[in-house]
Structure 1
Amino acid sequence: MNGRIGVLSARYTAAVFAVHRPPPEGSLVLKLHADPAAYAGETLAYAPLAGTAPIARLYAEGEESLSLLLEYLPEPADWSGPRMPAVLAERVAAVHTASLWLTGEAAEAMAGFTIAALQGAPAPAWIADPGAYGEVLAAHADAYGPDLVPLGHLDLKPEHLRQRPDGEVVLLDVESVRPDVTGLIDLVTLPAVLRQAGHELGPDQVLGLYRDATAARGASWTAGSLKSALRAYAAASGLESLHGL
């Protein structure tokens, strides 16, 4: 792999480098994990998301070196437009519903994490109230059907929204995505992220954007069912605040 290398970040968990190559090849990101579990988690996240959600493209992975080669996206998203809140909600919804479009080996690999499978299994150890967790899963089954894998826990922040040369907005950093955490935690984060980016939206506006974005991808949330699911999620997880939602 030829090209000038620059350090983007260096933490105890992972080091990220930019490999600058001239056109037509273009630049890449080389990510080196220090923890095998974190590497496995990130590669697992790409299984349902690659090709179905607006994330950085994965070009190659190296199991022995715990490394990934990713699309280099240095251009930050332009948050100034009035449509950006809807764009962010749509991008988040695309991740949350990505598993609905899985086929072949990816669908088989994720079969143990579907809503139906989770409803038949004990609640995870991090759940404080198993009864409330059951309500969350039931609400998701009503909204999406039993075959959804409830992906969530995006590391949402304004700097993690980047822009391709053609203007398409994509999400960075999916290593935190887990198949046993619903997208509701990301919905709780949305108002704070939008506020950081200069967009002040009320709770009903945020919920409306999310309902519209997920409805376009096959969901059937209502205002009431979404708020009930959020309350149940807070009880199940011990979350202290829903930030007004």
Structure 2
Amino acid sequence: MTTAPATAAQALTGLARTRPTGWLPTPMPADPADLLLRAHQALAADHPGETGRISLLSGRYTAAVFAVHRPPPQGSLVLKLHADPAAYAGETLAYALLADTAPVARLYAEGEKSLSLLLEYLPEPAEWSGPRTPAVLAERVAAVHTASLRLPGEAAEAMAGFTLAALRHAPAPAWIADPAAYAEVLAAHTDAFGPGLVPLGHLDLKPEHLRRRPDGDVVLLDVESVRPDVTGLIDLVTLPAVLRQAGHEFSPARVLGLYLDATAARGARWTTGTLKSALRAYAAATGLESLHGLDR
């Protein structure tokens, strides 16, 4: 497998499946004026107590994000609208799993009619130039990957069908290219975490998704892509590219070490050898073309 530098977008070549044009029946409108109208309608339909000037932060085919500027001392909010009901359901599930157990933006309210979320507004980017930032990012990623080990009882019961114990007795997902290799990945995770872990992963890692609260706490944004069953290895493969994109030239071995330390601090029993073996099995299971030197 090659070790040539890859961008964050290229890191998962072979695994990512590109959807065909027009796959979403009712995408978000392209006109900013139409998006703002949609935002006002969402607040009125599902969040009638919230008022304030609304500005568009980003608009995509599948979702749009707005700032709701409220007067002090309330502080602003983020309003996120989904066009895809499945993505909305996935993001609400991710917040339910991560809100009390991992460093992500706070979720204040959900709106089922408008497929909307009201979230913490975090305009301040994290400081990427500091020498501690790579370790902080690894810690934040590890917190997400191990979040299910710290779920309250009711949430843990609700996710029982997605634990490693359940997944190892279920058919491999349709997106898996090699079920036998996928079984190796699940077995390695069971050895590292125990059978009760829900293997969360698939963070949309990029520098702009690491933000800082006024108190200095660093949190991750945009968890809509997080899902059970993919495992955190997908994010480990992306980490070297994200750090390089942010200006940190870390060797694959050093990135692997950061992840080993961060997960060990949260209860994992990985070794360098077992983690590399799991990565190789993951590549075989998913069709991933390169591990970018992490398995060397």
TM-score range, shorter chain: over 0.9
Instruction: Measure the CA separation in 1 of the matches of 2:203 and 2:268.
Output: 19
Q: Percent identity?
A: 87
Cα offset, 1:210, TM superposition:
0.3
Instruction: Measure the CA separation in 1 of the matches of 2:133 and 2:207.
Output: 11
Structure 1 portions without partners, runs of 5+: none
1:37 maps to what in 2? 86
Structure 2 portions without partners, runs of 5+: 1-49
Cα offset, 1:12, TM superposition:
2.1
1:71 maps to what in 2? 120
Q: Aligned with 1:15: secondary structure?
A: strand
1:192 maps to what in 2? 241
* Higher relative contact order (CA closer than 8 Å, sequence separation 6+): 2
Instruction: Measure the CA separation in 2 of the matches of 1:234 and 1:176.
Output: 19
Instruction: Measure the CA separation in 2 of the matches of 1:98 and 1:145.
Output: 13
Q: Aligned with 2:185: secondary structure?
A: helix
Q: Which amino acid in the other structure matches residue 81 of structure 1? A: G
Instruction: Measure the CA separation in 2 of the matches of 1:202 and 1:51.
Output: 33
Q: Which moved more, 1:89-98 or 1:23-32?
A: 23-32
1:144-187 CA-partner distances (Å, limit 9, x unpaired): 00000000000000011000001111000000001011000100
1:233 maps to what in 2? 282
1:139 maps to what in 2? 188
1:57 aligns with 2:96: no
Between Structure 1 and Structure 2, whose CA radius of gyration is higher?
Answer: 2
**Aligned residue among 77, 98, 114 for 1:28:** 77
Cα offset, 1:204, TM superposition:
1.1
Cα offset, 1:24, TM superposition:
1.7
Instruction: Measure the CA separation in 2 of the matches of 1:12 and 1:208.
Output: 37
TM-score (normalizing by structure 1): 0.99
Q: Which amino acid in the other structure matches residue 225 of structure 1? A: T
Cα offset, 1:192, TM superposition:
0.3
Q: Which amino acid in the other structure matches residue 151 of structure 1? A: L
Q: Aligned with 1:74: secondary structure?
A: coil
Any runs of at least 4 consecutive aligned residues in structure 1 with deviations exceeding 3 A, and if so which?
none
1:45-194 map, 5 Å: 45-194=94-243
1:216 aligns with 2:269: no
